[in-house]
């Protein structure tokens, strides 16, 4: 079948237009035939990101940057709108994903997709706006690191310059003469130190003999201690036995007995204080005390009367005279004699 030249020219034109449209889409960042998922993100500036830059996830290219637009009506942190596509159908963007403008290598900028650890909150749909952030580029990092160092170097150079000027002003003939005098003093000091070292050497040689005697005495002392080792061991053993006996002694029983005795003594003292018993009655019964005093007085009077008039109580018949007074039996007479003997003269 033959086609006319017009038909061939039309077919070629249509194919050319299709190739042109596909090429334009590819240059814009879309797939060759289009149909990719589009997403949006806002940034304070573009970070020199170009259209058709790569969109990477874990270092793998998953899409392209389709458009970089400036939106002056938005706030300062959202004035750059970036449209990007995800060409891989298997790649889903869960909620919490952050889009970052960063360096893919030393020369290339791109979008970095950061997936969160928790992907259970659902996924973004095509056409949604994702949060974006701008990473610090290498030049800015180097500058932020180098600026403080540069400032310190400038300050150090200024200090060195001042120090050099001060040394130049100080270093004159007077300073030179003073330096020479100081060197002479250092030389004299070194000579004195040498003399002291020689004296120390002589002192050490003289005292070496004394030190040897001291060491001999120390050796003798250690020998005597070694000979007395058995005695020291027996002393330690006896001490250990004494401590064991002290440990095993029935201190608890002794303390319990003492506590029981003190408790009984306290009970006795309580009864005495309350007037119970003979001692308590003697201490608290005034009537008994008065009777004892009265009895004592009567005994004193009786003793005095016996001394003055013994014939009233003891009678002796020498020639058969008549007995006077009250006759006493033998036991009563003995008791009366004991009373008279106990009375102090």
Classify residue 215: in a domain, yes or no: no
Residues 87 and 70 in one domain: yes
Half-sphere exposure (CA, 13 Å, Cβ side) for 254? Answer: 5
Percent with pLDDT over 90 in the chain: 16
- Regarding whether 124 and 112 lie in a shared domain, the answer is yes
Which one of 114, 137, 160 terminates a domain? 137
Residue 47 buriedness (CB in 10 A; 0-12 / 13-18 / 19+): buried
Q: Does 2 share its domain with 67?
A: no
Residues 66 and 127 in one domain: yes
272 lies in some domain? no
Residue pair 56/88 in contact (Cβ under 8 Å)? The answer is: no
Tell whether 16 and 96 lie within a shared domain.
Answer: no
Q: Give the residue, 31 or 14, on which the prediction is more confident.
A: 14
Query: pLDDT digit string (tens) for 165-209?
Result: 776 665 555 656 666 777 788 788 888 888 777 877 777 777 777
User: Would you say residue 44 lies in a domain?
Assistant: yes
Whether 156 is covered by a domain: the verdict is: no
Q: Are residues 28 and 46 in the same domain?
A: no
**Direct distance between the N- and C-terminal alpha carbons of the chain, in angstroms, rounded to an integer:** 186
Contact (Cβ atoms closer than 8 angstroms) between residue 303 and residue 340 = yes
The answer to whether residues 17 and 89 belong to one domain is no
Note whether 109 and 61 are same-domain residues: yes
Note the pLDDT of residue 128. Answer: 93
Q: Which of 30-34, 238-242, 258-262 has the highest mean pLDDT?
A: 258-262
Q: What is the pTM of this model?
A: 0.37
Residue 25 pLDDT grade (very low, low, confident, very high; cuts 50, 70, 90): low
Q: Is 250 part of a structural domain of the chain?
A: no
In a domain, 315, yes or no: yes
Predicted local confidence at residue 331, as pLDDT: 73
Q: What is the spatial distance between Cα 112 and Cα 41, in angstroms, rounded to a whole number?
A: 12
Does residue 67 sit in the same domain as residue 123?
yes
What's the pLDDT tens digit per position in 303-341?
777 777 666 666 555 444 455 555 656 776 677 777 766
Q: Residue 176 to residues 161, 170, 173, 223, 296: CA-CA distances in angstroms?
A: 22, 10, 5, 67, 121
Q: Is residue 328 part of a domain?
A: yes
Whole-number Å distance between alpha carbons of 164 and 156: 12
**Cβ burial 107-125 (10 Å sphere, 16+ → b, else e):** eebbbbbeeeeeeeeeebe
Instruction: Compare 23 and 114 and report the one with higher pLDDT.
Output: 114
Q: Examine the domain organization and report whether 3 and 96 are in the same domain.
A: no
Separation of alpha carbons 283 and 272, rounded Å? 8
Task: Note the pLDDT tens digit of each residue in 223-235.
Answer: 777 777 777 777 7
Residue range of the domain that includes 101 = 36-137
Both 132 and 85 in one domain: the answer is: yes
For residues 44 and 86, state if they share a domain: yes
Is 245 within a domain? no
- For the chain, how many structural domains are there in total? 3
């Amino acid at each position: 079948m033959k086609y006319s030249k017009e038909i061939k020219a039309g077919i070629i034109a249509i194919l050319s237009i299709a190739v042109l449209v596909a090429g334009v889409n590819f240059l814009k960042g879309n797939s060759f035939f289009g149909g990719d998922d589009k997403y949006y993100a806002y940034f304070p500036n573009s970070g020199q990101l170009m259209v058709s830059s790569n969109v990477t996830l874990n270092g793998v290219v998953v899409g392209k940057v389709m458009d970089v637009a400036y939106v002056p009506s938005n706030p300062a942190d959202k004035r750059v709108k970036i449209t990007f596509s995800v060409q891989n159908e298997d790649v889903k963007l869960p909620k919490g994903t952050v889009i970052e403008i960063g360096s893919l290598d030393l020369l290339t900028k791109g979008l970095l997709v950061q997936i969160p650890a928790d992907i259970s909150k659902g996924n973004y749909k095509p056409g949604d706006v994702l949060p974006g952030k701008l990473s610090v580029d290498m030049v800015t990092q180097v500058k932020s690191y180098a600026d403080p160092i540069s400032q310190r170097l400038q300050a150090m150079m200024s200090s060195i310059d001042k120090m050099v000027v001060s040394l130049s002003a100080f270093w004159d003939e007077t300073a030179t003469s003073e330096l020479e005098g100081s060197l002479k003093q250092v030389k004299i000091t070194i000579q004195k130190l040498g003399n002291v070292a020689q004296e120390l050497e002589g002192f050490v040689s003289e005292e070496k003999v004394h030190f040897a005697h001291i060491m001999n005495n120390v050796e003798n002392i250690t020998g005597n201690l070694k000979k007395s080792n058995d005695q020291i061991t027996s002393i330690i053993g006896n001490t250990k036995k004494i401590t064991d006996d002290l440990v095993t002694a029935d201190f608890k029983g002794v303390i319990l007995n003492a506590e029981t005795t003190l408790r009984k003594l306290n009970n006795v003292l309580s009864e005495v204080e309350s007037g119970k018993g003979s001692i308590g009655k003697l201490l608290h019964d005034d009537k008994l005390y008065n009777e004892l005093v009265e009895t004592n007085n009567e005994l004193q009077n009786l003793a005095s009367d016996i001394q003055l008039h013994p014939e009233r109580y003891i009678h002796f018949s020498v020639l058969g005279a008549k007995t006077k007074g009250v006759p006493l039996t033998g036991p009563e007479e003995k008791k009366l004699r004991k009373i008279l003997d106990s009375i102090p003269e």
